[in-house]
Structure 1
Amino acid sequence: MMKQWMAAVTAVLAFALVASGVRAADVDAFPDIRISYQRHVLPNGLTLLIHEDRKAPIVAVNVWYHVGSKDERPGRTGFAHLFEHLMFNGSENHNDEFFRPLEAAGATKLNGTTWYDRTNYFQNVPTNALDLALWLESDRMGHLLGAIDQARLDEQRAVVLNEKRQAENRPYGKVWETIARATYPAEHPYSWTTIGSAEDLNAATLDDVKDWFREHYGAANAVLVIAGDVDADAVVEKVMHYFGDIPAGPVRQRHQAWVPRMQGEKRMVLQDRVPQTRIFKVWNVPGFCDPQANILGIAAGVLGDGKNSRLYERLVYRDQIATDVNVGLGPFEIASQFMIDVTVKPGGDAAAVEHAIDEELHRFLQDGPTEEELARVRTKTFAQAIRGLERVDGFGGKSAVLAQYEVYCGTPDRYTEELREVREATPLAVRDIARHWLADGRFTLTVEPFPEYRTADTGADRSKLPAVGAPPDLELPPLQRATLSNGLELVLAERHEAPVVQVSLIADAGYAADAGIKAGTARLTLDMLDEGAGDDDALALSARIERLGAQLSAGSNLDTSFVNLNALKARLAPSLDLFADVLLRPRFAEADLERLRQLLLAAIQQEKAEPYGIASRLYPALIYGAGHAYANPRSGTGTEDSVRAITLDDVKRFYARWLRPDTSTLLVVGDTTLEEIVPLLESRLGAWSAPDEPPPRKQLDHVELPATSRVFLVNRSGAEQSLILATHLAPPLSDPDDLAMQLANAVIGGNFVSRLNMNLREAKGWSYGAFSSISGAKAQRPFIAYAPVQADKTVESMREIRRELEAVRGKAPLQQEEIDFARNSLVRSLPGENETVGDIAGSYTTILVHGLADDYWNDYADRIGGLTPAAVNEAARRLLQPQALTWVVVGDLARIEQPIRALGWGEVSVLDADGARLR
């Protein structure tokens, strides 16, 4: 399925293949796959879909309500989203945070979202926690109103308003409201954004929100999907038990299709605090279930999906006048939008970019796509489908696919019709439909009587939460080892549930290898690996990847550089040829260097336009000091001066010095064996030899903490929020107390119900979210507490952050209940975090990079379960050093500087976005 949206809606996946117009080799690579399910409608109207997936002991519980912001009315916008927040604050029989028992039970991939046409709530839970999840979801569906009071409404209103401020405070944050108003008539239900207006949110009364629940949250307006390690008959019985006594709700009036086609061209210019000009072109087109929208999705793929798409190839590669291209379809229920957005190269000519866009679009509407372009789009779709079979979650997994098509189209099987439409599409058909809808009418911004229902006479016990029971054990596949003839260590974890293989070359390099050379070299070098290799230039290599249905990436993090391949088993051998070309035979062309240099410079500008990006660029040098291998910007982008100075010789030198078999490990996870994979790898990588020079070493000296706090301010005039980041160095991941420190951090700021978030978001309403983290590193690593807060509460928020950290060391040490909750959350989430081969590769990469025992994750529950409160608090006292915090605050200094200086928390300095001291 080709329908996709650039921002973030549930991905639409394809799960079938019939070989009309597809070569026999493709049939082998892309078998006929469907999502099996059972469909039941309870007597109260609740639709239940069940899919059995036995590969892992987890279950996805996914509830979709057929209500979104289009069901609001002018003057009452934002209600759907506001109510979503209220649904997480407690119900009549569990008057507490919804996340609390779920996180303690090991839930993963849990959240709720609101969009124009639907509101959904979802979580993956271990199999033993299914009753808990069903109890909680049914309690807030049928037993919510008694838990909503004025205080709770005011609290979540403040949170939503902060979310709105945060979104609008980002670059391009005001685009979506502008587009909605400009492309739909005022009476159209898509003419306002889902988050609504501040005026309407502030005007919402307690009666308003309760009426919203009564009107929209009945059982007959919901679809429940249970997907995972379950028995379908048992699920039906459980769902009837928990949901059967919930009323159906009133009869709903559904919006019918309404596509307000525009005529001619309407233009608008929006000024905002952005680092680059961005051009948006928008057309109103048919809604989600209309086959024409599906075909327009193909057109979007040809025009803007991947490096070989027409617009990307023209604007970014050939003309090099843009740094980013996105073409997508926003597939909404009663009308969709086709959108092109292009980011102009810094200092570039926006008019020239728009002219090039129009030329390529005109050529496409005249001639249509080629057969090769259609084949590329089909291949990429089917490759995504196979990988999608690994996931059951609500973030685009199988449960989300079933729910989305049931809600929007009235049947979960609509996706098979969509695939047939894609399969049978011809260049002429794609051209004609695209010409019909896209040749005119655009906006350019330079930015369903119901049967009677009855309820069951009895229902679930609402006096207490169901017991979670013992969690399932995590059993990652054991590691097997071999060594290639050149000494390269091979580590294999077999996983045969899906026909995919993940191959990861892990090199001891990373951003830390930039110490003493030009910052950004590691990132730029690894970026260049897949920009041409062997006989293929960048576009030919990209086309080769797409033909194989493979995924290939190269990059770095702090301590390591990597080359990753995710291959379909049926095409493993040619995919390994591709991997070897990229790893051993990169082309390193001067033209690619110059193009990627401009993209990296643009990325630096993007970072410097976003508050957290600014802070993350500055804090490493402040806490590590000049010369330390970890002192460069955290993203590895370097500085504008250093990136401009990087030469092709610098790139080649870094590659030869740091990517070598004697300091690298090859990790393979997936559908293969040592007997199969070793010969395949030996024939391709066995001749790779290490250079004569000894392996390089990084400067990772120990850094003492400062004696007192320091405060660094960065001005962002007119900012509605301040970004507060407080940091100091913590022991490395290899420290014996690491697990205890991670447990302590989870209580302090590592999950939704942590102390920091419950304070600044839930109790105070000053922030959309406040958290803390301790990242992984071979040497000392940063402990960070951070929160974006409303500007007028900056100083108060800083006081609360420091007070929370000091309290852990003093009058409010971590309590048994908090520690048990955090422990349960960390342990019980492990199965959900190791579902795919990519997930497992990530877990084993941690083991390999940091020299941990092979059974680190399988023994994790026992080791963390043995930590006493005394041990965790002692580790917390080692971890937290409030007196040595380095504070970085990004905000409007005209409003916050003097109050911050008045705190008297040590030396206060004002820096620019590059870290230069201004005063």
Structure 2
Amino acid sequence: MAASPDEPAPLSALVQQVSVPHSKFTLDNGLTVLVNEDRKAPVVAFNIYYNVGSKDEPAGKTGFAHLFEHLMFYGSDNVREGIMPYLEKLGATDWNGTTWFDRTNYFQTVPKGALEKVLFMESDRMGYLLGAVDQKRLDMQRSVVQNEKRQGDNEPGGLVEYELLEALFPVGHPYRHSTIGSMADLDAASLADVKQWFIERYGPNNAVVALSGDITEAEARTLMQKYFGAIPRGAVNNPAQAAVPTLAAPKNIVMKDKVATVELQRHWATPGLLAPEFPALDVGAAVLGGLKSSRLDRILVREEKLAVSVSANAQPFHRVGMMEINVKVKPGVDPAVVDKRLDEIVADYLANGPTADEVKRAGTEFVGSKIRGLEKVGDRAGKAPTLAEGQLYAGDSDFYRKQLAAYAALTPDQVRSTMSQWLSRPVVKITLEPGERPPYVESKPVKSTAKADVATPSVKRADPPFTASPPLDFPTVEHATLANGLKVRYAQRAGTPLTSMVLSFDAGFSAETAGQRGLQNMVMSLLDEGAAGMTAQQIAEKAEILGAEISTSGTPDRSRVSLSALTPNLVPSLKLMSDIATRPDFAPVEVERVRTQIVTSIAQAKTSPSGIASRALPALMYGEGHPYGSTAAGDDAAVARFTRDDLLNFQQRWLRPDNAELFVVSDLPFAEMKPILEAQLGGWTAPAVAKGAKQFGAVAPRRSKPRIVLIDRPSSPQTFILGGAITPVDPRGENSAFTAGVDLLGGRAGARINQDLRETKGWSYGAFGYSSPNERAVPFMVQAPVQADRSADSVLALMKQVKDIVSTNPAKPEELSTSVASIVGELPGSFETGSSVLGAMQSNALFGRPDDYQERMASLYGGLQLVGVNSALRASIDPNSIVYVVVGDAAKVRAQLAKAGLKAEEMAVR
């Protein structure tokens, strides 16, 4: 390919490249099936969408659709084990189930050889579920769902949605209550309710199945008839209808919560997904506050510096939609001033509309996002869900094509008139202020009539065998060196017109000294805020018109500039990335703006349960002065005093070609790619200053007993537990035995820790243990958000699980076989996209692994012996060395810990 011109490809040309060829058929029982053949990997995505969601819940049963979704994961007549462990044994990737206002879906991508087992499982829970649903399962999943609700509610701003929906929609409107529901309604759900919900709504004639991947239409017809054909039609479900309401007058709501700064919100009810106005509303919201170059970003954040961040979004549902604007006020600025200015900007926008260039940039962003999503066969935005959603909502599996055409054809006047029509109506204003939220409405104990037995299966069906799938064929990695010495690793991944690359510097926040915590993050945050004479606004606009995504980030060991480019626009996109990475301006005015944003984000992290714990643990594990003893965001006091010279010095010492490596995955052959890379990066030279050198010392000494650190977060309905310890594992060693052991202990839904705290005890929505390797150290971690009244019990349960696996209850043969099956089976689906291949290439480089390491994993893990895994765990994990950070309401948690005999030291939020 010759070097592309600097001008971007026309939006119409990009739209023409988006295509998901497929076939459609319907079984006699009414089940609609869509099939897309995609042979790039030996995997198949299965997505099933049921035409029922929370809008269809009767009064007094809010949250019921979502509660039922949970029950669907806990066995059917002939699959009596939990569905999550069942899928993990098959090597499923991108699997889950979700509920929203309009639909409930279940999805997974599996190796081709596991497809029949998935079809058996999914058909069994569609047609033969109720024999396995009993009071015990209902009570347990009710508890899990209520912990999921607490987890979301516990976040700063977690209660806003409830107030918003009640303000925006009238009494009786199907969209007036949240999908998660109320504690009282969840408490009241009965077994009879569960069974009736299934009977009335889960018939095959109320569902759409989409299959995408290594499968033909003929294969799909045979298999779908075999597994789903005998399921009888269900009742005809008529999902709730809903009109778009208009408020009689504006509403103003003031709420208080654990937020770092005042948030100003605007909300309107608007037309939904199928309305002809929706594309204009979506583009209009993007231009106003969704793009990085948006009106609100430019005026409120960059020019007038009244806000630290803004957003605007058009959220579509089936029947209605919601338009929302959110502005986080800059600390120290009068919110009333920002509130007034926000209204002025919106009024001007509604009167005058967007420019043609703004509309084109927003449309290109939408098309680029769709192309990236369709690189996958499944998950939430891939080929299968795209087809299924179109069929479910519009009765047209090609609906995505009509959407793309509509976005490409939009004019500024269409956007202006549509936005003016719908946003000139009365608005719901929500002001979220720092302060104490009202008392939390908790659940009430439910008197259980649980029984251990379940009903006899109504129909006996044989679980099909697992068929071996082809091994992973990881792309060949080519190596090259540009004229300036920059090393390149390249892999070709055909099929989607995308190029992804990462310029990776051997820096990260471990390159900081003890007094510079946060310097790396501030430098990386400023790279795209002005470079090569371009302003932040100009950079954002150029990236958007190209459909390019350019980002900067930092890990403990590496600092990265990343690019995802539409290949037709590769040359100008790479040129922009090169300018950002090699020619940053660090303009003083931008330095001060970004400084304020970072300090505010740190303040916000100090209000979030996970943020508080994540900031505290590294120093407790490694020691205050260790390079890993912090987080990327760093210390707000240090960030406040960094000078421009500090930023330049870090950039010159660390972000340079002799300290970097370039990783690229593209649909182009390397012979065409190398001249492009050479032209844009080959002339970049290292500065005269000495290259940086990291200073790693000893980690904190190991302890003789676990340490518990309690951090008070008053009025928290949940307690967040995060524990960690450094292991003696060599990051560059062959660690498959250790990795498999940690996986069966805590790395999966079916692992010991999650099974104990979620599935057996019902105290958590999800609890896990995992290793998180860095270049110089491998920590072992545990994490569990738990209901507040079980805080101490949960710490004891975590301690017991970790202690038992290295002493009295070592890993069992069946646990190891499941872990190995999961790790090996996931390989084909794990490297389906260019970005996933790019991540593997970087990991291989960081840990000194061969380029084909991912292809060797099957034999490495397949050859593991139980004795070796248990030996690796005993040698690596010391239960006494773990530090547990417990973030919750100390008034409730302190006494629990003392009663349990757990001595805790208290620490302030840091």
Q: What interval of TM-score do these two structures reach, taking the shorter chain for normalisation?
A: over 0.9
For 1:760-805, what per-residue CA distance to the aligned partner results, in whole angstroms no more than 9, with x for missing partners?
1111011111101111201123211111111111111111111111
CA distance 1:233–1:540, shift in 2 (3 Å): same
For 1:91-116, what per-residue CA distance to the aligned partner results, in whole angstroms no more than 9, with x for missing partners?
11011110112111111010000011
Is residue 2:659 matched to residue 1:663? yes
Give the deviation of 1:687 after TM superposition.
Answer: 2.9
Q: Name 2:695's counterpart in structure 1.
A: 699
Q: Distance between the aligned counterparts of 2:728 and 2:858, measured in 1? A: 22
Is residue 2:579 matched to residue 1:581? yes
Q: Distance between the aligned counterparts of 2:793 and 2:89, measured in 1? A: 31
Once the two structures are superposed, the pairs formed by residues 403-414 of structure 1 within 5 Å of their partners are 403-414=388-399
Is residue 2:427 matched to residue 1:442? yes
Amino acid at match of 2:862: G
Give the deviation of 1:732 after TM superposition.
Answer: 4.6
CA distance 1:23–1:615, shift in 2 (3 Å): closer
- Residue pair 1:709, 1:905 contacting (<8 A) in 2 also: no
For 1:559-610, what per-residue CA distance to the aligned partner results, in whole angstroms no more than 9, with x for missing partners?
0011111222222222221122112111111111111111111111121111
Q: Distance between the aligned counterparts of 2:461 and 2:874, measured in 1? A: 39
CA distance 1:162–1:24, shift in 2 (3 Å): closer
Q: Name 2:284's counterpart in structure 1.
A: 299
Once the two structures are superposed, the pairs formed by residues 33-182 of structure 1 within 5 Å of their partners are 33-182=18-167
- Residue pair 1:263, 1:440 contacting (<8 A) in 2 also: no
Once the two structures are superposed, the pairs formed by residues 557-706 of structure 1 within 5 Å of their partners are 557-633=555-631, 636-692=632-688, 694-703=690-699, 704-706=701-703
Once the two structures are superposed, the pairs formed by residues 866-881 of structure 1 within 5 Å of their partners are 866-881=863-878
Amino acid at match of 1:780: A
For 1:25-50, what per-residue CA distance to the aligned partner results, in whole angstroms no more than 9, with x for missing partners?
44555534322221212111111111
- Residue pair 2:262, 2:328 contacting (<8 A) in 1 also: yes
CA distance 1:517–1:672, shift in 2 (3 Å): farther
For 1:726-762, what per-residue CA distance to the aligned partner results, in whole angstroms no more than 9, with x for missing partners?
2111235525352111111111110001101111111
Out of 496, 511, 514, which is 2:512 matched to?
A: 514
Q: Name 1:18's counterpart in structure 2.
A: none
Once the two structures are superposed, the pairs formed by residues 387-402 of structure 1 within 5 Å of their partners are 387-402=372-387
Give the deviation of 1:659 after TM superposition.
Answer: 1.3
Partner SS, residue 403 of structure 2: helix
Give the deviation of 1:714 after TM superposition.
Answer: 0.4
Amino acid at match of 1:519: R
Give the deviation of 1:24 after TM superposition.
Answer: 6.9
Give the deviation of 1:902 after TM superposition.
Answer: 4.6
CA distance 1:48–1:28, shift in 2 (3 Å): closer
Q: Distance between the aligned counterparts of 2:9 and 2:887, measured in 1? A: 57
Partner SS, residue 50 of structure 1: strand
Give the deviation of 1:471 after TM superposition.
Answer: 3.1
Q: Name 2:767's counterpart in structure 1.
A: 770
- Residue pair 2:709, 2:885 contacting (<8 A) in 1 also: yes
Partner SS, residue 408 of structure 1: helix
Is residue 2:186 matched to residue 1:201? yes
Give the deviation of 1:814 after TM superposition.
Answer: 0.2
Is residue 2:850 matched to residue 1:850? no
Q: Name 2:739's counterpart in structure 1.
A: 742
- Residue pair 2:26, 2:32 contacting (<8 A) in 1 also: yes
Normalised by the length of structure 1, the TM-score is 0.93
Amino acid at match of 2:230: D
Amino acid at match of 2:638: S
> Aligned Cα RMSD in Å?
1.8
Amino acid at match of 1:679: P
Partner SS, residue 465 of structure 2: coil
- Residue pair 1:328, 1:340 contacting (<8 A) in 2 also: yes
Q: Distance between the aligned counterparts of 2:309 and 2:49, measured in 1? A: 33
For 1:799-832, what per-residue CA distance to the aligned partner results, in whole angstroms no more than 9, with x for missing partners?
1111111110122110111111111111111221
- Runs of 4+ off more than 6 Å: none
Amino acid at match of 1:913: V
Amino acid at match of 2:221: V
Q: Percent identity?
A: 40
Q: Name 2:787's counterpart in structure 1.
A: 790
- Residue pair 1:813, 1:873 contacting (<8 A) in 2 also: yes
Give the deviation of 1:274 after TM superposition.
Answer: 2.1
- Residue pair 1:504, 1:667 contacting (<8 A) in 2 also: yes
Q: Name 1:423's counterpart in structure 2.
A: 408
Amino acid at match of 2:693: R
Amino acid at match of 1:548: L
Is residue 2:909 matched to residue 1:913? yes
CA distance 1:516–1:717, shift in 2 (3 Å): closer
Q: Distance between the aligned counterparts of 1:442 and 1:182, measured in 2? A: 10
Q: Name 1:882's counterpart in structure 2.
A: 879
Amino acid at match of 2:512: D
- Which moved further from structure 2: 230-239 or 256-265? 256-265
Give the deviation of 1:172 after TM superposition.
Answer: 0.5
Give the deviation of 1:346 after TM superposition.
Answer: 2.6
Q: Name 1:282's counterpart in structure 2.
A: 267
Give the deviation of 1:396 after TM superposition.
Answer: 1.3
- Residue pair 1:62, 1:224 contacting (<8 A) in 2 also: yes
Q: Name 1:718's counterpart in structure 2.
A: 715
CA distance 1:253–1:500, shift in 2 (3 Å): closer
For 1:318-359, what per-residue CA distance to the aligned partner results, in whole angstroms no more than 9, with x for missing partners?
122222222112211121111112222233322222212211
Q: Name 1:16's counterpart in structure 2.
A: none
Give the deviation of 1:882 after TM superposition.
Answer: 0.8
Q: Distance between the aligned counterparts of 1:865 and 1:437, measured in 2? A: 59
Amino acid at match of 2:719: S
Gaps of 5+ in 2: 1-6, 433-457
Is residue 2:836 matched to residue 1:839? yes
For 1:599-651, what per-residue CA distance to the aligned partner results, in whole angstroms no more than 9, with x for missing partners?
11111112111111111101111111121111112xx1111101101111111
Q: Distance between the aligned counterparts of 2:614 and 2:237, measured in 1? A: 48
Q: Distance between the aligned counterparts of 1:259 and 1:675, measured in 2? A: 55
- Residue pair 2:55, 2:102 contacting (<8 A) in 1 also: yes
- Residue pair 1:737, 1:875 contacting (<8 A) in 2 also: no
Amino acid at match of 1:826: I
Q: Name 2:247's counterpart in structure 1.
A: 262
Out of 466, 479, 482, which is 2:480 matched to?
A: 482
Q: Distance between the aligned counterparts of 1:714 and 1:706, measured in 2? A: 20
CA distance 1:462–1:574, shift in 2 (3 Å): farther
Give the deviation of 1:415 after TM superposition.
Answer: 2.7
CA distance 1:60–1:121, shift in 2 (3 Å): same
- Which moved further from structure 2: 890-899 or 129-138? 890-899
Q: Distance between the aligned counterparts of 1:127 and 1:581, measured in 2? A: 44
Amino acid at match of 2:663: L
Amino acid at match of 1:665: E
Q: Name 1:860's counterpart in structure 2.
A: 857
Normalised by the length of structure 2, the TM-score is 0.94
Q: Name 2:438's counterpart in structure 1.
A: none
- Residue pair 2:626, 2:698 contacting (<8 A) in 1 also: no
Q: Distance between the aligned counterparts of 1:439 and 1:707, measured in 2? A: 66
Amino acid at match of 2:487: E
- Which moved further from structure 2: 729-738 or 64-73? 729-738
Q: Distance between the aligned counterparts of 2:172 and 2:10, measured in 1? A: 51
